[in-house]
Structure 1
Amino acid sequence: MPGMTAAEPPPDAAPVFKRHSRGLSAQVYDWLYEAIVSVRLEPARRLSENELAARLGVSRTPVRDALYRLAEEGLVDVFPQQGTFVARIDRQGLADAQFVREALERAAFRDAVRGAGPRDLEAMRENLREQERARDRGDIEGFFDLDQRLHQLFFDAAGHPGAGRVARRARPQMDRVRRLALPDTTGFDVLVGEHRALVEALAAGDAEGGDAVLTGHLRLILATVDRVRGAHPGYFT
């Protein structure tokens, strides 16, 4: 495909897979998924089964299985006679994912206001403390993991943990944009502040105030995407 970039392994060290725990295909999938969502494998990069298998120290079969799953999820594009590539970010797909996530999270937050107990609130506050530590040491990957865990805690407190997992499946495209945006912004401080406001609203039983913060928080991605696209036009459709 025109504009696609050649295959080249990302710069981090090769992972060590445990052959007697989860299946190799699942472990390869997890590694590739994280590499794509974190933009270590950037949009439009060509993916070679042979090169990935050699780099990861596995056969082509688990790599092929993982790429098939990623293609079903819209993170990989397969073009017959041309190759397999990390999917570019689709603006409409991004808007659709944000819509789904917002609908689920706003409903869950209102239920969490009624259902959260002291243990839920303490888990959220500890998560915020860990977010601040990740921010202070510049740990982007750790911060995003804590971000995801905090939002799952809202679903848990609402009594809808499964809905949280559904909402998480809408996040990959949004997370790619957020990772591309964060190095150029004071995004850590903004996100920590909004997360703290959400937990405080939950503790105060303020469903309306929390909903207003949450809505703005979730829609921030839509205000960010045009700037990110301007900086990385080849990453978008």
Structure 2
Amino acid sequence: MHTTLQTLWQETLDTDSVRQRLFQVLRQSIIQMVLAPGQALSEKELADTFSVSRQPVREAFIRLSEAGLVEVKPQRGTYVVRISQRAVLEARFVREAVEVAVVKLAAEKGIEPAMLTELHDLLERQRRCVKPHDYDRFYRLDEAFHRTLSLGVKQHAAWKVIEEVRAQLDRVRYLSVPHSTPLERLVEQHANIVAAIEARDASLAEQAMALHLREILVSMPDLVRRFPDLFEVQENQTLLQEAIQ
């Protein structure tokens, strides 16, 4: 099914406030390229689309600006920002530091059987996404996998940090799955992480997670070449070379 603003709105919880639902929809629409980098956003058009007043739209723009996803230009309008390679690399660095520590803790202390069962269930559901190329479903399962790891070792704050830094990173992750990174590779990497945790091998778990989170360093150069209009024009491959080194 082709993703639209309306379909994303339908996926939000109607028990949440209009402000929260609107922010979630606009954030996800930017991540999924429903609203493209460089695109101008109209308060009035969006308010009309969702049958809401302009105030919650204005508030969503402020939150999206704080997340680095839109730029509000006085007297000129609001625009979806292009993807910043530097911001992506900085977010990846933070995410690796946090999630490597999470899996190290999981391997050293172990996690509850129920959580392990949930991880294996997520792996199986991810495998079922491969042949039908169900990228949207895989993306949601991938997020659930990483969230389950953090919550499995009772590190709720760790997951909150990841959520706060991943906005720019998520756009490249979403772009890379259909265009650059095979689903089979990501599922295998997830399976290796779980196997290392079950073996109580902290060193192997750290290595497996680091390798997984560095996958974006492999895919991003290809994505920049294929979709140059989606990325900030002043940035170049030197950033990636420095990150890999």
- TM-score calculated relative to the size of structure 2: 0.87
SS at match of 1:169: helix
Deviates more, 1:122-131 or 1:135-144: 135-144
Partner in structure 2 of residue 56 of structure 1 = 50
State percent identity of aligned pairs. 34
Structure 2 equivalent of residue 216 of structure 1 = 211
- Other-structure match for 1:111: 105
| Cα distance per residue 1:8-57 (max 9 Å; x no partner) | xx745463599972211111001101101111111111111111111112
- Aligned residue in 2 for 1:85: 79
CA shift, 1:187, in A, is 1.9
117 and 21 in structure 1: CA distance in 2 versus 1, 3 angstrom threshold? closer
Q: Does 1:41 align with 2:47?
A: no
Query: Aligned to 1:174, which of 169, 176, 193?
Result: 169
Q: Which residue of 2 aligns with 1:121?
A: 116
The residue aligned with 2:201 is 206
Distance in 2 (CA, whole Å) between partners of 1:192 and 1:164 is 20
**More deviation, 66-75/167-176:** 167-176
Helix, strand or coil for the counterpart of 2:37? coil
> Which residue of 1 is the match for residue 150 of structure 2?
155
Question: Where in structure 1 are there 5+ consecutive unaligned residues?
Answer: 1-9
Alignment of 1:57-72 (within 5 A): 57-72=51-66
Alignment check: 8 A CA contact 1:182 1:188 kept: yes
For 1:19 and 1:225, the matched residues in 2 are separated by: 33
C-alpha distance in 2, partners of 1:161/1:115? 17
Q: Does structure 2 retain, via aligned residues, the 8 Å contact 1:25–1:62?
A: yes
2:187 corresponds to which of 192, 200, 220: 192
How many pairs are equivalent?
A: 228
Q: Is the 8 A contact 1:115 1:157 kept in 2?
A: no
Q: Are residues 20 and 179 of structure 1, via their aligned partners in 2, closer, same or farther at CA, if it must alter by over 3 Å? A: closer
Contact 1:46 1:85 in 2 (8 A): yes
In the superposition, relative to structure 1, how do residues 20 and 126 fare at CA in structure 2: closer, same or farther (>3 Å)? closer
Q: 1:190-216, CA deviations, whole angstroms, 9 ceiling, x for partnerless residues? A: 110100111111111111112111111
CA drift at 1:159: 2.1
Structure 1 segments (4+ residues) deviating >4 Å: 16-20
- How many Å separate the matches in 2 of 1:183 and 1:218? 17
Cα offset for 1:232? 1.4
